[in-house]
Every structure is written in structure tokens, then in C-alpha cells.
């Protein structure tokens, strides 16, 4: 009987601590900001064949740069169809192409890529 009561008490304390952690106002708990960028691809480093991700260096019109990040496809559960299609769009991009990239600004730097499109002269 004591064991059940102690277990319930521990679970209640754990639940409360998780609730309070979720209510924190620290910057680390804020969602990344959605961002859309246009620029020219300066560099692509595709490490997906060796269980890595893709890093794209984008040169913006104002001369500044941004780093676009796409994580590994070797995940469990396996990547969604949407994520695989995004990787196909990434593979179609080459250095020198003008692109529009959509993603979320990460606290650690760079932008987690959620979409990318090649832009042509009339766009």
C-alpha cells in the first residue's frame, strides 16, 4: 500500500514540474520565428549519403548571408513523404541558382529549412 502511495506522489510531483517547465518565459522555450528569404545559393554541402544533413549557404540581396539547414533523412520514424519531397527539391538546387527559402530561425543559428523553390527571372 505504501509503495502505491509513494508512486502516486512521485508521479504527481513529476507532472507538476513538467507543467511549470512548460510555463517558463525563458527565451529557450519560445518557438523559432518563421522566415522567408530570397537569395543566390553560394554553397551546398549534402552529407545525406553518410547519415548527415544538408547545409546551404545563401547570399542575400543586401550582401549578407544565411545558413539553411536540413537534417538527416536517417530517422526513426522514417521521414514523411513531405520531407522526402523537400529533399528532392533541395537536390534540384545548384550553386548560382536564385531561390526562395522558407524556414524557422533556430536559437543555435541558421534556419531549419521547411521549403525551398528555385526562382526564375520573371518571379
d(CA 51, CA 63): 32
Stated pTM of the model: 0.70
Residues pairing with 115 in the sheet: 102
DSSP structure class, residue 83:
H
Tell me how crowded residue 54 is: count the other CB atoms within 10 A of its CB.
Answer: 22
pLDDT of 23: 37
SS3 120: coil
- The strand pairing partners of 116, in sequence order, are 101
> Residue 42 falls within a domain, yes or no?
yes
Q: Is residue 4 part of a domain?
A: no
Residue 1 lies in a domain: no
Tell me which residue range forms the domain holding 69: 31-118
Look up the CATH number of the domain holding residue 62: 2.40.50.140
Q: Quick one: pLDDT at residue 123? A: 55
The pLDDT assigned to 3 comes to 53
Does residue 111 lie within any of the structural domains? yes
What is the separation, in whole angstroms, between the first and last Cα of the chain? 71
The residues of the chain scoring below 70 in pLDDT are 1-33, 121-123
Query: Is 123 part of any domain?
Result: no
The pLDDT of residue 35? 93
**Number of domains present in the structure of the chain:** 1
Amino acid at each position: 500500500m505504501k509503495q502505491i502511495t509513494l508512486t502516486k506522489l512521485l508521479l504527481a510531483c513529476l507532472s507538476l514540474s513538467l507543467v511549470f517547465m512548460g510555463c517558463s518565459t525563458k527565451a529557450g522555450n519560445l518557438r523559432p520565428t518563421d522566415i522567408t528569404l530570397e537569395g543566390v545559393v553560394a554553397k551546398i554541402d549534402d552529407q545525406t549519403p553518410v547519415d548527415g544533413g544538408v547545409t546551404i549557404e545563401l547570399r542575400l540581396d543586401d550582401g549578407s548571408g544565411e545558413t539553411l539547414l536540413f537534417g538527416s533523412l536517417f530517422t526513426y520514424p522514417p521521414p514523411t513523404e513531405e520531407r522526402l519531397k523537400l529533399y528532392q527539391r533541395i537536390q534540384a538546387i545548384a550553386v548560382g541558382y536564385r531561390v526562395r527559402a522558407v524556414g524557422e530561425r533556430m536559437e543555435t543559428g541558421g534556419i531549419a529549412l521547411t521549403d525551398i523553390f528555385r526562382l526564375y527571372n520573371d518571379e
